[in-house]
């Protein structure tokens, strides 16, 4: 079923006038946001209008996090929001099945909320949720653009419990907006709104091991049904989700270990942090010496390692034609407090004090991946995002001063 709800865009602390779309001359403090009504099944109720607002000074920094379902987005988000301090919670007094998480600094919205077809609708049309035809990219673009410009929106909610589209919830523009889900970099208009983008690239073998662990243990699914669901999603995953990694500023790639020959357990992981060079406000992390090619086995007097050990690598490379730096960790930590030894050999990690990475990792030692490169690199990317946010916001406040000087 398609949806006939009208989604409005509300201005926060702003004066707005609504008109039909037209070329309008905007004052320097005015923002123009076009919002769309979804067309009903009969075709009525569609169209668009324009809201012109005098928005506040603060602008929202927008981060995109793309990954397939069950690939660690929620875990990554918990690590990221923790870097900014304060716990992230669903909107107070709202829909208990809301997918949104709000903390002092961040609002995380799940792009599943832009499914234009509910579960029955997808079944009727024979499309998966990964298919662009099951998602409303016009609305996603308009609402992310509005939030980025300081304008609140009524965002739809996709209810994962019922499989239905619930009435919308009000989202106010936060300091940092994270859009996480299947398609944050699919639509070029949405992609252009991102200040930084991350792709979690989990290899098929590892994805399968994680899904089995979660869906069999926590959701009572059978091995056969898990296999069937992964297979059914694969063509659309390959066509629409995976290609987004070429646009990401940072990719966390998770592969089976190379330290155990023919390992098929998926417990020990080789994790690669692929960082694009030349991204404004983001300088890649390095090991020992920037730009060199390094291989490092830190096990010994200062780092306890049991079989199969730990190996780090670092160096320049290319990825989808772009220059990148890649930091790799294969293996897992025995003692998390000894991570400080590794941390002290990494540079450009954007910590505010010595040992901050280790402190963050210890704080969330119970999160999945805390003993390997997934947790380590997610934490580092969280710190890099904090740094990017601080640079972006300080350059915005510094701009008028520079203008005065000139």
Ligand X SMILES: Nc1ncnc2c1ncn2[C@@H]1O[C@H](COP(=O)(O)OP(=O)(O)OP(=O)(O)O)[C@@H](O)[C@H]1O
129 touches ligand 5RP by CB under 6 A: yes
- Choices 64-72, 305-313, 322-330, 391-399 (CB under 6 A): range interacting with ligand X: 64-72
By three-state DSSP, how is residue 333 classified?
coil
Neighbours of 66 (CB within 10 A): 27
Which string of x and - marks every residue 156-195 that binds ligand X (by CB under 6 A)?
----------------------------------------
Residues forming beta bridges with residue 16, ordered by sequence position: 53
Query: Which residue's Cβ lies closest to ligand X?
Result: 369
The smaller minimum CB distance to ligand X, of residues 67 and 339, is found at: 67
Exposed/middle/buried for residue 238 (C-beta within 10 Å: 0-12, 13-18, 19+): exposed
* Residue found under tokens 């293996």: 331
Count the residues of the shown chain that bind ligand X, applying the rule CB under 6 A. Answer: 14
Residues 178-237 that bind ligand 5RP (CB under 6 A): 181-182
Which string of x and - marks every residue 49-78 that binds ligand 5RP (by CB under 6 A)?
--------------------x---------
* CA-atom Rg of the chain in angstroms: 22
133 touches ligand 5RP by CB under 6 A: no
By three-state DSSP, how is residue 381 classified?
helix
163 touches ligand 5RP by CB under 6 A: yes
Determine the Cα–Cα distance for residues 85 and 245; give it in Å rounded to an integer: 28
Structure tokens, 112: 């599943």
Count the residues of the shown chain that bind ligand 5RP, applying the rule CB under 6 A. Answer: 8
* Residue found under tokens 């003692």: 335
**Tally of CA atoms within 13 A in the half-sphere of 165 that contains its CB:** 25
Structure tokens, 321: 């034609």
Q: Among ligand X, ligand 5RP, none, what binds residue 160 when CB lies within 5 to 8 Å by partner kind?
A: ligand 5RP
* Residue ranges in contact with ligand 5RP by CB under 6 A: 69, 112, 119, 129, 160, 163, 181-182
* Residue ranges in contact with ligand X by CB under 6 A: 67, 69-75, 210, 213-214, 368-369, 374
């Amino acid at each position: 079923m398609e949806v006939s709800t009208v989604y409005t865009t509300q201005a926060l602390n702003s004066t707005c006038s609504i008109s039909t779309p037209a070329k309008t001359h905007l004052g320097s403090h005015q923002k123009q946001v076009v919002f769309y009504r979804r067309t009903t099944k009969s075709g009525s109720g569609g169209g668009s209008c324009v809201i012109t607002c005098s928005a506040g000074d603060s602008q929202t920094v927008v981060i995109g996090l793309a990954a397939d379902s069950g690939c660690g987005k929620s875990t990554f988000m918990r690590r990221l929001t923790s870097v900014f301090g304060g716990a992230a919670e669903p909107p107070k007094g709202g829909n208990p099945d809301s997918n949104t998480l709000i903390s002092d600094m961040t609002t995380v919205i799940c792009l599943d909320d832009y499914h234009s077809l509910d579960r029955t609708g997808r079944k009727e049309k024979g499309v998966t949720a990964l298919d662009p035809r099951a998602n409303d990219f016009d609305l996603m673009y308009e609402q992310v653009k509005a939030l980025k410009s300081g304008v609140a929106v009524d965002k739809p909610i996709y209810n994962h419990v019922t499989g239905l589209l619930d009435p919308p919830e009000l989202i106010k523009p936060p300091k940092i907006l994270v859009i996480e889900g299947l398609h944050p970099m699919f639509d070029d208009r949405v992609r252009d709104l991102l200040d930084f983008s991350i792709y979690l690239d989990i290899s098929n073998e590892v994805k399968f091991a994680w899904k089995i662990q979660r869906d069999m243990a926590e959701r009572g699914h059978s091995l056969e049904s898990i296999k069937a669901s992964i297979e059914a999603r694969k063509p659309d995953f390959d066509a629409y989700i995976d290609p987004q990694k070429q646009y990401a500023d940072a990719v966390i790639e998770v592969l089976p270990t190379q330290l155990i020959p023919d390992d098929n357990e998926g417990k020990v992981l080789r994790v690669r942090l692929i960082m694009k060079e030349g991204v404004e406000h983001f300088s890649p992390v390095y090991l020992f010496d920037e730009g060199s090619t390094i291989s490092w086995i830190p096990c010994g007097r200062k780092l306890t390692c049991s079989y199969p050990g730990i190996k780090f690598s670092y160096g320049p490379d290319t990825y989808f034609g772009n220059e990148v730096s890649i930091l790799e960790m294969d293996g897992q930590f025995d003692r998390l407090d000894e991570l400080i030894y590794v941390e002290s050999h990494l540079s450009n990690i954007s910590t505010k004090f010595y040992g901050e990475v280790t402190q963050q990792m210890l704080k969330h030692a119970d999160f999945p991946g805390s003993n390997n490169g997934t947790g380590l690199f997610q934490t580092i990317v969280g710190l890099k995002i904090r740094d990017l946010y601080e640079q972006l916001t300080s350059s915005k406040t510094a701009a008028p001063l520079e203008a005065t000087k000139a």
